[in-house]
Amino acid sequence: MRSTFAPWLALAFALPAFGRDCADTDTSCLRDGSRQHVVRDLDYWRPMLQRPLSDRIRPAPAEVVDYLALDNRLNGFPERPRSATPDAAFLADLRRAADGIPARVWDLVAPGLAGVLLVDRLGSTGFTSIVRDAQGRAVAASIVLDAGLLAGLDGNGWASWKENTPFRRDGLHRLSVQMEPEASNEREAAIRYILLHELGHAAGILKGVHPGWEAGTLPTSLAPWPFLQVSWAADRKGHPHPRDGQGFAQRADVVYYVGAKLDIAEAAPTYRALARTSFPTLYAATNPWDDFAESFANYVHVVLLRKPWRVQLRGVGDDTETFDACWGLPRCEAKERMLRALLGP
């Protein structure tokens, strides 16, 4: 890939009508609209896939914004996304963040990366969608980033904000994350990690690490996907759950972005329990697909880029606990071995 990104090119499309007539409570209608949406089809992305990788990073076109609004309605997010054309400072940070990602990562996904598209009011920091061909095979992926959400956050500020979202604050306990040394703690660090997570989603589907996530279920046998077998199993209906020894009491209530279910006083026992599993981050424990994306991002961040990942919990008084990245530890050995095989030494 090129080391720098080309100037933005404007796109203009007529806004489609997928799902617009569905009531917000009609999940069946919204789901059908999502499945049939034009941005899920390979033909829509063919012109973009023929462009240089640097030219696939741009403001989201109208069709993508429409699809995101539909997905937000389906999943209960109140936000209504819109296309974003960030200022020069954000574009410079994005350029540096992308340049800071190892070339081997970009090479892994570049043939099937349909675009990295910018919006605001997404409701989360990133989003990846699977693109399928006429036979239903996953052949590409498109990534969306929320530029507006990152407007005032540096790397450690963003990571701390995100990691606090599962917990209700009480003014007595504090959770913070260091993902970047203070000397280089800029917004580009947050953008880089978010990009890595979304590129992990793209790599997971394009390289066959796991099946698609659209239905939220898994085949009852995970034999074709050894990465998933480390931490997950599926019941007779395909609902994923942690394997024996990989679950913990608070896991079912760990919800990011859309409403905390745990008190911040429960953060310490939650992280202690997490440290006995093969999940590298708390977000990885939420579902099989984010398990791989988080493992991918955290591995590249810590092992390849040699950056810190430390969660610090402060309780009443001077009580402090820290939880560092798991790479090099027995609990994450199996996942580390597979990531090393995928990304190289």
Q: Domain segments of the chain: what residues? A: 27-151, 156-343
Q: pTM here?
A: 0.91
51 contact partners, CB below 8 Å, separation of at least 6: none
Report which of 57, 85, 260, 296 is spatially closest to residue 167, judged by C-alpha positions. Answer: 260
Pairing, β 310-314 against β 174-178: antiparallel
Distances in Å between the Cα of 16 and the Cα atoms of 36, 146, 287, 305 are 12, 22, 32, 41
Six token digits for residue 243: 């394997």
- For residue 326, which of 318, 336, 339, 317 has the smallest C-alpha distance? 336
- What residues contact 109, with CB distance under 8 A and at least 6 apart? 141, 199, 202, 203, 206
Please choose, from the candidates 297, 332, 280, 331, the residue with its C-alpha nearest in 3D space to the C-alpha of residue 125.
297
Long-range contacts of 203-207 (CB under 8 A, 24+ apart): 203/105, 203/108, 203/109, 203/296, 203/342, 204/289, 204/292, 204/293, 204/296, 205/130, 205/138, 205/141, 206/108, 206/109, 206/111, 206/112, 206/138, 206/139, 206/140, 206/141, 207/108, 207/342
Alpha carbon 338 to chain centroid distance? 19
Whether the pLDDT of residue 302 is over 80: the answer is: yes
Cα distances (Å, whole numbers) of residue 94 to 48, 97, 191, 195, 241 = 20, 5, 7, 9, 36
Beta bridge partners of 176: 312
CB atoms under 10 Å from CB of 249, counted, come to 10
- 6 and 52 Cβ atoms separated by less than 8 Å: yes
Residue 235: which residues within 8 A CB-CB, separation 6 or more? 220, 241
Say what the pLDDT of residue 14 is: 42
pLDDT above 70 covers a percentage of the chain that reads 94
Amino acid 154: pLDDT: 94
Which residues sit opposite 116 in a β-bridge?
A: 57, 143
pLDDT tens, position by position, 163-188: 999 999 998 999 999 999 999 999 99
> Among candidates 287, 118, 129, which has minimal Cα distance to 201?
129
Per-residue pLDDT band for 35 (boundaries 50, 70, 90) equals: confident
How many C-beta atoms surround the C-beta of residue 85 within 10 A? 14
- Give the pLDDT confidence score for residue 19 in this predicted structure: 57
Reply yes or no on whether the pLDDT at 4 is more than 50.
no
Q: Kind of pairing, strands 320-324 and 232-234?
A: unpaired
Q: ∠ CA(124), CA(151), CA(105), 5° rounding?
A: 65
**HSE, side-chain direction, 13 A CA sphere, residue 48:** 27
**DSSP state at residue 41:** B
Could you tell me the pLDDT band of residue 204, with boundaries at 50, 70 and 90?
A: very high
pLDDT at 147 over 50: yes
Q: Is 52 helix (H, G, I), strand (E, B) or coil?
A: coil
Residue range 263-275: average pLDDT? 97
Specify the pLDDT at position 150: 80
What is the C-alpha to C-alpha distance for residues 334 and 225, in angstroms, rounded to an integer? 13
- Whether residue 10 is predicted with pLDDT greater than 50 in this model: the reply is no
Between CA 273 and CA 254 the distance in angstroms is: 13
Q: Answer whether residue 5 shows pLDDT above 50.
A: no
